Amino acid sequence: MVHLRRFDLNLLISLDALLHEKNISRAADRLHVSQPAMSAALHKLREYFDDPLLVRVGRNLELTPRGLSLVEPVREALLRIETTLATQPEFDPATTQREFTIVVSEEAVPDLLPVLLKRLAAQAPGICCRIQLISETILTRLEYGEADLSVCLDSLRMYSARAWPDSLRLVRLRPVRWICVVDAEHPTVGDTLSAEQFYSLPHAFGAPSGYSAGTQELVRRLFDIELPVQLAVPSLLHLPLILTGTAYVATMPERVLRLSPNVGRLKSFPTPFPAPNQQEILLWHKRHELDPAHAWLRNLIIEVARSLP
């Protein structure tokens, strides 16, 4: 049984940092305190839990079974406290001062983001957004409160997951249609693109830096096909820019091409393989359900996404 009267609740923050960093120096840096102060906090925590929490294994510190059992509940407790303190009983977008971290997939950048940010500037000038690009850790980041919302593809394989966590909420926004694109003056591709042609051409693909998997593995996860990629660029948004004047073929979301300044210099075709019926989705953690500012922002994202072509 936890005896709150003899537990310094300020130590929860130190405990959370120690459990996640598994290093006294990094935990101290994370909280902007001295290393001796963090060592003292660890000593108090060890006394309270009657457990070392962190033990040395070789050159590293590892969590004890008791430490492991505390990781998720301590982080969730702190996040709920933060959410409660940030939640205002009366919400007025015109006067609210808040910051949100929104993680987006690249196909949402050219059209959804500009409209969303324009609406935010007009309706809620005090809401600041930190926009970050999608990575395979997005589900964990939402779980641990490192991101507030995510606009992403409904492809579990891209996040190395078998199912959506029960703690996350999901709303479908728009369909995502994949197409194949080549230079308008391609030397061998005319008005059609056969499967035989497609597989014989050199391939370019956008491989975001937030994934540990290689480019060909990302293609396999997205399309369930084997495809040697001769040119990998750091973003899907780069693909229309580098195709002109080359013999490459690239597979990308249709809206990435439609909104590219190079659209008139390229031509597109349906994929000669069964492309997945993917959706753009909005994800958030259920702990934010009753936060009126969070609810307002996610409803705005849904409204903007569904109003776009």
140-192 pLDDT tens trace: 899 888 899 999 999 999 998 999 998 899 999 999 999 999 999 999 999 99
Token digits of residue 47: 């006394």
Which of 40-44, 130-134, 174-178, 207-211 is the least confident region?
Answer: 207-211
Residues 166 and 284 in one domain: yes
Token digits of residue 33: 């305190």
Q: CA quadruple 271, 275, 281, 284: dihedral positive or negative?
A: negative
Here the CATH number for the domain that contains residue 68 is 1.10.10.10
Here the CATH number for the domain that contains residue 139 is 3.40.190.10
Which of 81-90, 153-162, 207-216 is the least confident region?
Answer: 81-90
Whether 155 and 116 have beta carbons less than 8 Å apart is answered as: no
Residues 251 and 136 in one domain: no
Summarised one tens digit per residue, pLDDT across range 254-304 is 999 999 999 999 999 999 999 888 999 999 998 888 889 999 999 999 999
Residues 286 and 147 in one domain: yes
Residues 103 and 46 in one domain: no
How far apart CA 60 and CA 54 sit, in angstroms, is 10
How far apart CA 233 and CA 209 sit, in angstroms, is 9
Give the chain's domain count.
3
How far apart CA 71 and CA 76 sit, in angstroms, is 9
Domain span including residue 114: 98-175+279-307
HSE (CB half, 13 Å, CA atoms) of 36?
0
Q: Which of 170, 118, 92 is nearest to 307 (CA)?
A: 118
pLDDT of residue 1: 44
Summarised one tens digit per residue, pLDDT across range 28-40 is 888 888 888 888 8
Chain centroid to CA 9: 31
How far apart CA 249 and CA 229 sit, in angstroms, is 10
Give the chain's radius of gyration (CA, Å): 24
pTM of the model: 0.75
pLDDT of residue 95: 92
Structural domain contains residue 79: yes
Chain centroid to CA 256: 19
Structural domain contains residue 289: yes
How far apart CA 108 and CA 253 sit, in angstroms, is 10
